[in-house]
Structure 1
Amino acid sequence: MVYATFCLTVTLLVYAFFAMREERTTAMKRRLAHITGGVETAQTVASHPEEGREPSLMRRLLHPVWKEFRRGFSRTLEERQAAKLEIRLLQAGQPFGMSPVDFRIAQLTVFIALPGVFLFYASILKIGLSGTIAFLLAAIVIAAVLPGYYLKLKTRSRSRLALRELPDVLDLLTVSLEAGLGFDAALSKLISKKEGVLATEFRRCLEEIRLGKTRREALTGVKERVVVDELRVVISSILQAEKLGIGMVQVLRIQSEEVRDQRKQRAEEAAMKAPIKMLFPLVLFIFPSLFIVLLGPVAIQFIQTFSE
């Protein structure tokens, strides 16, 4: 049973590795096509990544099985759970282009893989029944926590990047609006000049507006996908200004100043926390080394004197 689980785990991991490589290659081609050939070429690459190329043997063998397994697994996922998980994936930047079904399959794979690998190594090391049970329990706990923790890390990292980009994005939007552009045209100028988390989200927002969504719905989607309180305040202010007929230039200028003030306050707070964080390395590592260097020769001389 252990060896069968191990073989199944290795097979799934190998296929997942090749699928991730394929996804990265397709994303790279899509970006290059968007730069060199325009949006239509990028969409062609995204929709037909395998066109003009013979699929590999691994893909021909495993793709039908994977497709059928994925279809059957999607039926077990409730619509409410899928919606919540999709929001979490979007907040994390949709790593590896995963859908909710793909993420659940990845969770299942990790939950099978880690205990299988731990049991395999426990059988090799021959650590006994108690050690094997401890290994198995540790693997189950890690496998249950790891995928969700990975999403949290990705969400936190993406939020930090978005918060760092926010002041420059607001400045560019303000300048574009002052130059006489409309809000949608200012967003187009922004996504053509900037790269990053916010540029990607506003590109998606603009595409949703062009596909028929209202501006309020599209900007509300940006608020849900980016976990940054400052950005949510900015978008709420934009929507309120649009509703009340207030000029957006003044609103964006005020919000930009507030975001920069908040960034300055966070920097000052981090600077005040730095001495407290340095205290533990000083006490645990630097002070003992200084004591050894300063008092070590004295202690040696003292011992030699009294031993004579």
Structure 2
Amino acid sequence: MGAGLVLILAVAAAAAAIVLAGFAFTLPEIRRDRVRRTLAVFTGHPDAEQSRHQDTRESLLQRAADRLGAVLSPPGDRERLNRLLGLAGNPPDWPIQRVLRARPPAMLVTGLLLAWLGNGLNGRAGALTGGFAGCLFGAFLPLILIYNASIKRQEAIQRSLPDVMDIMVIGVEAGLGLDAAMDQVARSTRGPMADELHRVLQEMRLGVARADALRSLTQRTTVRDLKRLVTALIQAGDLGISVAPILREHAQDQRIRRRQRAEEAAQKVPVKMLFPILLFMFPAIFVVIIGPAVIQLVRSFAGG
């Protein structure tokens, strides 16, 4: 009965995938494909030619996944995904099209897996509930992974900000301008903060004003200390104030905040260690301490 139900669910999932694929192919092609095809026809640029050959090499299954990802991702979801990708640093291996392409296979795999588990636990009702929950989980799985990557990246920015501030203070007090100090940090350090400063400098080289480039930096981060620093630098540039005292004050504040965060993390350690000690260490200690007494009592009662 269980194997038959799993087979029925697999056939239903395959039929649904075929129907969705047919529906996706009836939709107009996405804007990216239209732009690349137009560039390939009306320009002789090598990138456009490469894009045209890449289109010819794409498999039918890959195009179906692209269309299905577009169908399953409303505009609000895409905006949220773009926001999370910006916070995660826009990984080159995971552009938004690849993330959308991974959503239908994730829904299919997690749906079948949870349907099989639900069938083993609660029969047909569990299989249907598990399949539905698995499809929902698979739809949100790319967002969850990117959200996790964005949190880790913002934490890395928070940890590296005091050191970056110290380097910028040394550079500005040595006679460098703000742009040269940021360039020195971007070239001499590694990490998310250096990448963000490098992007700010690239935008400025392309003609974007410094204030606008710094404002776009605040949109790519959730670190409040960095946002306060950017706001102070923008106001200093608008008012014509020297940035050296501002950087020095923020660097001192960042060192104090880093020490406070370290003390806070140290105070949380005993609370975090409490539950592992109760679950793993105390039972072993009880066995070692009370075990011989229990054995002696059992022997005494058995002898009596």
TM-score normalised to structure 1 length:
0.73
Contact 1:167 1:259 in 2 (8 A): yes
Tell me what 1:300 maps to: 295
Shift of 1:6: 5.9
Write the distance in 2 (CA, Å) between the matches of 1:130 and 1:200.
50
Alpha-carbon distance change, 307 to 69 in structure 1, aligned in 2, over 3 angstroms? closer
Write the distance in 2 (CA, Å) between the matches of 1:144 and 1:65.
19
Shift of 1:89: 0.9
- Contiguous gaps of at least 5 residues in structure 1: 13-46
Secondary structure class of the residue paired with 2:58:
helix
For the pair 1:282 / 2:242, whether they are aligned, the reply is no
For the pair 1:111 / 2:107, whether they are aligned, the reply is yes
For the pair 1:242 / 2:234, whether they are aligned, the reply is no
For the pair 1:273 / 2:268, whether they are aligned, the reply is yes
2:99 corresponds to which letter in structure 1?
F
Alpha-carbon distance change, 206 to 175 in structure 1, aligned in 2, over 3 angstroms? same
Matches within 5 A, 1:1-308: 2=10, 5=13, 61-63=57-59, 66=62, 70=66, 82-118=78-114, 128-308=123-303
Superposed CA offset, 1:181-232 (max 9, x none): 2222222211111111011111111111111111111111111112211111
State the structure with more CA Rg. 2
Contact 1:86 1:99 in 2 (8 A): no
Contact 1:155 1:227 in 2 (8 A): no
2:10 corresponds to which letter in structure 1?
V
Shift of 1:76: 8.9
Alpha-carbon distance change, 96 to 189 in structure 1, aligned in 2, over 3 angstroms? closer
- Contiguous gaps of at least 5 residues in structure 2: 1-8, 22-46
Contact 1:6 1:116 in 2 (8 A): no
Superposed CA offset, 1:12-49 (max 9, x none): 9xxxxxxxxxxxxxxxxxxxxxxxxxxxxxxxxxx69x
Of all paired residues, the percent bearing the same amino acid is 29
**Alignment: residue pair count:** 266
Secondary structure class of the residue paired with 2:288:
helix
Contact 1:209 1:215 in 2 (8 A): yes
Shift of 1:242: 1.5
TM-score normalised to structure 2 length:
0.74
Greater shift in the superposed pair: 70-79 or 287-296: 70-79
